Amino acid sequence: MKTFYLETFGCQMNVVDSEQITALLQGIGYQPIATPDLADLVLLNTCSVRDKAERKVYGHLGRFKPIKDKRPELIIGVGGCVAQQEGQRMLDTVSYLDLVFGTHNIHRLPEMVQHVEQTRQRASETDFLDRETRLNLFPERTATESVTRFVTIMQGCDNFCSYCIVPHVRGREISRPSAEILGEIEGLVASGVKEVTLLGQNVNSYGGKTQGEISFAALLQAVDGIPGLERLRFATSHPKDITAELIDCFGTLPSLCPQIHLPVQSGSDRILSLMNRGYCAADYLDKVKKLKAVCPDIRLTTDIIVGFPGETEEDFQATLDLVEQVGYADAFTFLYSPRIETAAASMEDKTSARQKQQRFDRLLKLQQRISADIWEQDADSVLPVLVEGASKQGDGQLFGRTAWNRIVNFSGEQKLIGRIVPVNIVKVLRNSHLGELADDS
Ligand code: 5AD
Ligand code: SF4
Atom 16, ligand 1: residue with shortest CA distance = 49
Q: Is 263 in the pocket of ligand 1 (CB under 6 A)?
A: yes
What percentage of the chain reaches a pLDDT higher than 70? 98
Instruction: From the CA of 265, give the closest atom in ligand 1.
Output: 17
Q: Is 336 in the pocket of ligand 1 (CB under 6 A)?
A: yes
- Which residue, 160, 240, 181, 177, is CA-closest to 205? 240
Q: What per-residue confidence (pLDDT) applies to 142? A: 59
Give the pLDDT band of residue 393 (cuts 50, 70, 90).
Answer: confident
pTM: 0.95
Q: How far is CA 236 from the centre of its chain?
A: 8
Whether the per-residue pLDDT at 440 is higher than 90: the answer is: no
Q: Is 13 in the pocket of ligand 1 (CB under 6 A)?
A: no
Query: What is the rounded average pLDDT of the residues 48-73?
Result: 93
- Which residue, 374, 304, 300, 372, is CA-closest to 332? 304
- Residue type, position 317, single letter: Q
Q: Is 164 in the pocket of ligand 2 (CB under 6 A)?
A: yes
Q: Is 165 in the pocket of ligand 2 (CB under 6 A)?
A: no
Atom 13, ligand 1: residue with shortest CA distance = 303
Give the pLDDT band of residue 441 (cuts 50, 70, 90).
Answer: low
Whether the per-residue pLDDT at 3 is higher than 70: the answer is: yes
Q: Are 213 and 175 in contact (CB under 8 A)?
A: yes
pLDDT digits (tens, 9 = 90+) for 271-316: 999 999 999 999 999 999 999 999 999 999 999 999 999 999 999 9
Query: What is the rounded average pLDDT of the residues 186-193?
Result: 94
Q: What per-residue confidence (pLDDT) applies to 136? A: 80
Whether the per-residue pLDDT at 143 is higher than 60: the answer is: no
Closest ligand (CA of 161): 2
